[in-house]
Structure 1
Amino acid sequence: MNLRIRFLILFLAACTITSAAGQKKLRSLNHNAFRPGEVLKFRIHYGFMDAGEATLEVKPELKNFGNRDCYHVVGTGRSVGAFDWFFKVRDRYESVIDKDAMLPWLFIRRVNEGGYIINQNVSFNHFSDSAKSEKATISIPENTQDLVSAFYYARTIDFSNAKEGDVFPINGYLDDAIFPMNIKYIGKEEIKTKMGTFRCIKFRPMLVEGRVFKDNEDMTVWVSDDSNRIPVRVQTDILVGSIKMDLVGYENLANQPAIVGK
């Protein structure tokens, strides 16, 4: 992104926070799930093919928006190997997330998937419950998340008393619309990976079916059963084939991972 445009977006977002600071008190969530400097690396498989790699990074330094400390999270994804020849993917997502409220102030989306390109900048105002993109300004429910912030917020949820079938609601924003990103608790399971065997919590995001997914419960996610809640495996059926994503590396976790064997 052009640096001038980026600074303008950051400035406008900071002004939004500052100007609204006296209107509404935001929630405060205490957590120890992640910290600045954390890096998660994944390998993506399409059927039996190595299809891509993805990285999620919490930048080492906090950002200050309107006197509020914020995480700056960057997620990237790219196709690899033979898959890169016939369906090139170069994706980048950024989210500036309020450290205390675990809410996004800014969402940047750069998608290039087989020539399909999306460039989107969204600023959130959680004092007035609104979100503004280049195309529209819409009202949003309280505590709405973007695609990236939803993942980090979900890591702060307490599942200690969860029972099979319990649903944890999350409101998500995408393309100037609100949709449910609810997650259903399934249980616990050990997952064997190249990094070792992890003790995991298993759940299913309640997806929007029809566009990509055949059913709204086609995705299963295993996250480490520890205070980190890092994704160990994600597996999903799509309209054409299936995709699996495995954790292959991590740095600067806030807590010891729940590895029970090599």
Structure 2
Amino acid sequence: MKKILSIILLHLFIYADEPPFNIGESLKYTAEWNGISVGEAELFVSGLELVNGFEAYKISFTTKTVGLARRLFPVKDRIDVWIDKNEFYTHRLKKDINQATYSEKVDVLFDYNQSIAKTKNKTIDINFKARGPYSMFYFLRTFELNPDKTMAFSSYEGRSVINYNLKMTGIEKVNSALGSFSCKVIRPFKKGKELFKNKGDMRIWISETEKKLPVKIQIKIQYGSMTLLLKEVIN
């Protein structure tokens, strides 16, 4: 009974207040590959929409290469995700990936009343509330992270279900165009190993400010690293 009460109280603590972001918020990033500026990225909260009867924030994540990098390796990606207004899990995910050697289009709709996730060509049974990386950027801003706690999540983007863990690994200072931030470092991982292929590893730096901004996002793979560094906050 005490355990159940603690879970209820924790849930109330996490979701009682308004989130530290609002409709119209735009987070703009510089994109670097191995320390060289190659492009731009943006996280944008465009509005509230109904998905399967639930109110959901529509979040758009766009990335593109610019200048010489665009000629050498053109990238123009857009990912739209609809996350629950109250609990920030994913109701719908739409990906439009356009890169020099790879492209992908997928639209996943989660129906939690029927416990299914479906795309144009496939329907699978689910027993979890999906939290992928794009909804995670906002979910992590809604509560105080505990360095002693490992959290377990599941995501689905049209291929196979990915079960992964997430843990705060420390506090680091991050310098950006907006100044210096003290940030909590978050690491997603899978069964004690890297979450991504090609010896991939991901880190997310969340500021200790009131808005809990994702100041830095980094993915390291076998051949280098891609880093997004916050340069502008609008609204």
Coarse TM-score class (shorter-chain normalised): 0.7 to 0.9
Specify the alignment match of 1:53 in structure 2: 40
Residue type at the aligned position of 1:38: E
Amino acid at match of 1:192: N
Structure 2 distance, partners of 1:58, 1:232, is 16
Identity in percent: 27
Show CA shifts across 1:148-204 (max 9, x none).
223222322331xx235x322221112331112422111222222221011211121
5 Å-filtered alignment, 1:8-27, equals none
1:187 and 2:174 equivalent? no
User: Is the aligned partner of 1:138 residue 2:124?
Assistant: yes
1:98-130 C-alpha deviation (Å, 9 max, x unpaired): 212322222110001114111111110112221
Query: Which ranges of structure 2 fall in alignment gaps of 5 or more residues?
Result: 1-10
| Higher deviation after alignment, 96-105 or 76-85 | 96-105
Q: Find the residue that maps to 1:102 and give its secondary structure.
A: coil
Give SS of 1:62's match: strand
Residue 210 of structure 1: how far off its partner (Å): 8.4
Matched, 1:63 2:49: yes
Specify whether residues 210 and 102 from structure 1 end up closer, same or farther in structure 2 by C-alpha distance, changes over 3 A only. closer
Gaps spanning 5+ residues in structure 1: where?
A: 1-26, 253-262
CA RMSD after TM alignment: 2.2
Residues 197 and 173 of structure 1, relative CA distance in 2, 3 Å threshold: same
Q: 1:133 to 1:146 in 2, by over 3 A?
A: farther
1:236 matched to 2:219? The reply is yes
Letter in 1 for 2:79: Y
Distance 2:202 2:48 in 1: 32
* Aligned match for 1:124, one of 103, 110, 123: 110
Contact 1:42 1:54 (C-alpha < 8 Å) held by counterparts? yes
Q: TM-score, normalised on structure 2?
A: 0.84
Q: 4+ residue runs of structure 1 moved beyond 4 angstroms?
A: 207-211
Q: 1:114 aligned to 2:100?
A: yes
C-alpha separation between the residues in 2 aligned to 1:133 and 1:169? 24
